[in-house]
Amino acid sequence: MNENIQNRYTFSIDLIKQAGSIALSYYLNRNELVIECKKGDKQDQVSMADKSVEAKIRQAIAEKFPEDGFLGEESGYSGLDSEFCWIVDPIDGTSPFLNGLHAWCISIAVLHKNEIVIGMVFDPLHNELFHAQLGGGAYLNDVPMHTVEPAESVQDGLVGLGMSHRVPPKTILPFIHQLLVDGGMYVRNGSGALSLAQVAAGRLLAYYEPHMNCWDCAAGMLLVREAGGTANNILENDGLLKGNFVLAAANQQVYQQLDLMRAM
């Protein structure tokens, strides 16, 4: 076990819980928050909660591991060529968060030499910490996680879906059509990171989104793989900065079925 990775893993468990407490406090007082829209998109919102939680996380990392790089949704990036780089979404599911829904979380991932080695998704409302270290398995709090077993097709569970205005509607409509034709069913909760964690926990059969930013999905993709599932490489084609499609499934068989739908 790489001691440097283990140190960051242990540190990030405490850090994400502290950040979760701050986020939960904002959530319980969300009517007092000032809401802004990014680039004029009313569906892409940000609040002081997002900014404060990310600032807390970034400051703590800088104090403990000043040599590490950082990529955050709200404050940008620095030191991406460092040996270690942290990828942070302070509140994934800002719209559900602001509207009093339960589908939001905090997501933290760590890259080591351009490989995701730590992934954590924390749901403060339910006190559920989904966490994984490369090669060490995936856990929900202290209990090992496993994807849906057995699963042979999309008929064996629910498929989580995500969508944004960064891509046209026609990108996902053929996928939804074929999923329903093949006897599958989908849900959308507004948080891609939390949905990926649900795949790892065996609650969802799979998750697909035509485009996600890396801070939304890096942690979740490691969770799925370490829980025994299959997921695409989101870092391909400069995915760290440009984002990528995301497809994660309980196993290779279901992944291939969904990948064919995606290609339609």
Dist. CA 83–CA 191, nearest whole Å: 29
Q: What is the amino acid identity at position 170? A: K
Dist. CA 197–CA 106, nearest whole Å: 11
Whose tokens are 């046209």? That residue is 168
Whether 143 contacts 128, CB under 8 Å: no
135: three-class secondary structure by DSSP: coil
Any binding-site annotation on 234?
A: no
How many other C-beta atoms are found inside a 10 Å radius of the C-beta of residue 150? 8
Whether 84 contacts 69, CB under 8 Å: yes
Any binding-site annotation on 92?
A: yes
* Closest to 214 measured CA to CA, from 190, 237, 230, 198: 237
Q: What is the DSSP letter of 250?
A: S
Q: Both tokens of residue 115?
A: 């490989």
Any binding-site annotation on 259?
A: no
Whether 76 contacts 164, CB under 8 Å: no
Any binding-site annotation on 73?
A: yes
Whose tokens are 């339910």? That residue is 126
| Buried-state track 27-52, b at ≥16 Cβ within 10 A, e below 16 | beeeeebeeeeeeeeeeebbbebbbb
Dist. CA 230–CA 200, nearest whole Å: 10
Q: Report the binding-site residues for Mg(2+).
A: 73, 89, 91-92, 216
Q: Report the binding-site residues.
A: 73, 89, 91-92, 216
